[in-house]
A and B are shown apart, each in its own frame.
Chain A
């Protein structure tokens, strides 16, 4: 499997040059795919190529993109968060239940849920070395169980989010052209990309995923790095869930279920390695946008749910294959 032939400089043909160029700049391939998908969708439904059409896609992409940010950060450390959708749902649920206490209390408590669940994941993975896949599957079950019984108890009440949350989740400004959610996503993007590229913590995340032993020997405290990474992921998932609830207006315990696998897929399509050490959030954003356009396209095609699932899976498979065959050249 891993028998790599000794590096031989390929014959300098035009094709190889182009391949090498794409291999060094995979984002160009992703953006090309995105543009092609947008044009194809536009060919299916001409009205799509308008501000309102693209805004719809952007609004679909925002929650996936933000939850995918938590997957990106964790996948870089060699982990994954399969409780992301449940954290998002729980945060949104609290935000809705606390709607009467004002938007800031509601959102603050929602994010607190993300911090708590993320910290629990981080302690399990970082301190007790539980496999992240299992830790987060179990956490997802725990959160679902807790909220199912709480929803009939002290959380029974409002399942509608407040006006402010609905504004930031689904409304737009500048004559309704630019959604607030997109601005929030842009700000978060700047913070995440900056953190991953320019801070010591960002480099520690890559080091942890690339070679945990080497990272430890170089002096990083891996349990602290992992704990903070999982808390950060919890907060991001919570924000994604609150924005999703804002777009939809109301919450239920299955709110973000459908976002879990797309969030992983977005990170993977964007070139983040599931084995850790490799990846960037800019790639993930393209992944989320591609999935957003795709879901708009499938809606316009009026394909049944079955065809949607098959197409969605096939395209994720195809893109991942394309990406790996391009970047393997380097």
Chain B
């Protein structure tokens, strides 16, 4: 987003070039801005409470979308991220209950590392078995959800107040301070985004996603890049799980939560402009799109639309946006 101001100084052709590469991301954030403004006119008062409601609640899905984005950019897809989120949520809620803040942070760090290693192994299995990503991760969706259920058979657990504050700005999970969540998400998005485009390893993920053969011939170690993408995706899924723990103050080991979260993460990245074929898109768009998907609910509720119709409208909106994208893409192909 910071690039907007610098691009104004550039020449027309450079601006057009910038827009061609980042237009979709910009569009997503403009759409989000418009939706926030619209929402603020719908509720009696728009303040910290409303803002934190939006950001806090979209935090898990935004982290999950970031993780999915990294994996999809590298040419994969991970249907298991939702289960990884649930698994982390459950383990965190079980072991953080009644512990001090320091212990909670220690648990969080260990969980992120463990999730990264576990999902890295998933990437390794995909490499070795040569079975398509979608199939392997369909299996891990069940396996991780099973682990979660084994660890915490029924919803429960807890987290120390200060840990919950870290993600939600409030020790009870609901408050008027939106900053911690905003900073958390902006930081994660920026770090992952910059790592992807500024470092050797990050760029190798784009290379692998756009053309594995070309990447291999130009010296990328494809199997390493694949494992790396899954490991980072797993770590971010763990962040989503920790955010869920902070938000709800408990763990919920349900497979349906996992599969819904996975599908939402895929919807968010596609809406965020990341091509499912790999190699195209930015994580900045993905995290924006995740909030767009979430904010529709409070807007439609404020408009007096019942939650069921809200789901219909949300589905129609996703299809509508992608239909426009599809038509634009077809026109561009015809012209070139």
29 inter-chain pairs at a CB distance below 8 angstroms, sorted by A residue, are A2-B212, A82-B263, A128-B323, A129-B326, A135-B322, A137-B267, A138-B267, A141-B311, A141-B315, A142-B312, A146-B308, A146-B312, A149-B306, A261-B141, A261-B259, A265-B138, A268-B138, A274-B135, A304-B149, A305-B149, A309-B149, A310-B143, A311-B146, A313-B143, A317-B140, A320-B129, A320-B131, A320-B136, A321-B125
Interface string of A142-158 (1 = CB under 8 A from B): 10111011000000000
Contact (A309, B145) CB under 8 Å given A149-B306, A257-B256: yes
Instruction: Report the bound CA distance from A314 to B141 in whole Å.
Output: 10
Q: Is the CB of A148 within 8 A of B266?
A: no
The yes or no answer to B270 lying at the interface (CB within 8 A) is: yes
The yes or no answer to B139 lying at the interface (CB within 8 A) is: yes
- Residue of B with least CB distance to A260: B259
The yes or no answer to A306 lying at the interface (CB within 8 A) is: yes
- Please, how many residues of chain A have a CB less than 8 angstroms from a CB on the other chain? 50
Q: Which of B139, B223, B311, B313 contacts A314 (CB 8 A)?
A: B139
Q: Is the CB of B147 within 8 A of A139?
A: no
Instruction: Report the bound CA distance from A308 to B255 in whole Å.
Output: 12
Instruction: Report the bound CA distance from A135 to B318 in whole Å.
Output: 8
Interface string of A312-328 (1 = CB under 8 A from B): 11101100110011001
B243 to chain A, nearest CB (A): 22
Contact (A134, B142) CB under 8 Å given A145-B310, A306-B153, A310-B147: no
B interface, over-half SS: helix
Set of chain A residues within 8 Å of B149, measured between Cβ atoms: 304-306, 309
B192 to chain A, nearest CB (A): 22
Set of chain B residues within 8 Å of A321, measured between Cβ atoms: 125, 129, 131
Q: Is the CB of B138 within 8 A of A261?
A: yes
The yes or no answer to A105 lying at the interface (CB within 8 A) is: no
Set of chain B residues within 8 Å of A140, measured between Cβ atoms: 263, 315
Contact (A3, B311) CB under 8 Å given A133-B266, A274-B132, A317-B136: no
- Please, how many residues of chain B have a CB less than 8 angstroms from a CB on the other chain? 53
Instruction: Report the bound CA distance from A327 to B212 in whole Å.
Output: 22
Contact (A139, B138) CB under 8 Å given A261-B259, A308-B146: no
Q: Is the CB of B142 within 8 A of A316?
A: yes
Q: Is the CB of A144 within 8 A of B311?
A: yes
The yes or no answer to B150 lying at the interface (CB within 8 A) is: yes
Contact (A129, B276) CB under 8 Å given A141-B312, A306-B146, A314-B139: no
Set of chain A residues within 8 Å of B270, measured between Cβ atoms: 131, 133-134
Contact (A313, B142) CB under 8 Å given A128-B326, A137-B263: yes
- Residue of A with least CB distance to B306: A149
B226 to chain A, nearest CB (A): 8
Instruction: Report the bound CA distance from A320 to B134 in whole Å.
Output: 11
The yes or no answer to A124 lying at the interface (CB within 8 A) is: yes
- In A250-303, the 8 Å CB interface with B consists of 257, 260-261, 264-265, 268, 273-275
Contact (A313, B316) CB under 8 Å given A128-B326, A321-B131: no
Instruction: Report the bound CA distance from A320 to B140 in whole Å.
Output: 13
- Residue of B with least CB distance to A323: B131
Instruction: Report the bound CA distance from A44 to B216 in whole Å.
Output: 49
The yes or no answer to A29 lying at the interface (CB within 8 A) is: no
- Residue of B with least CB distance to A258: B255
Q: Which of B131, B222, B315 contacts A1 (CB 8 A)?
A: B222
Instruction: Report the bound CA distance from A320 to B126 in whole Å.
Output: 11
The yes or no answer to B31 lying at the interface (CB within 8 A) is: no
- Residue of B with least CB distance to A124: B319
Q: Is the CB of A145 within 8 A of B267?
A: no
The yes or no answer to A51 lying at the interface (CB within 8 A) is: no
